[in-house]
Amino acid sequence: MKNFIRIFVLIGFSLISTAFTLNNTLDRPIENTISQSEYCEGWEEGYCEGYKDIKGEFSICPITPLCPMPEIFKDSWKDGYHRSFLAGRKKAMKE
C-alpha cells in the first residue's frame, strides 16, 4: 500500500511540474519561421498579372494558389513570375 501511495505522489508531482512547464512555453510569442523565397514572391505577383492579361486591367484577381516547388535551376523571382503568369492566364481562359 505504501508503494502505491509513493507511485501516486510521484505521478501527481510529474503532472503538476509538466503543467507549469507547458504554461511557461505558451507565454512566449510564436515566431514565424517560414520565409518566402524569391520564387514564391514572383509567383504571387505573376498569377494576378496573368489573370488580368486575359480578363482586363480592372478585373478582380482570384485567390492565388499556393506556390509550387520550383523546377530544377529555375528558382529566381523571374521564373516564379513567368510560371504563375501562364497559370493565371490559363485560369482566366477557363472562366
Condensed to tens digits (0 to 9), the pLDDT of residues 31-46 reads: 443 446 899 999 999 9
Burial track 40-54 (b if 16+ CB lie within 10 A, e otherwise): bebbebbbbebbbee
48-67 per-position pLDDT tens digit? 999 999 999 999 999 999 99
Q: What 3-state class would DSSP assign to 74?
A: strand
Per-residue pLDDT tens over the stretch 13-31: 666 666 555 555 555 554 4
pTM of the model: 0.61
- Sequence spans of domains, the chain: 38-94
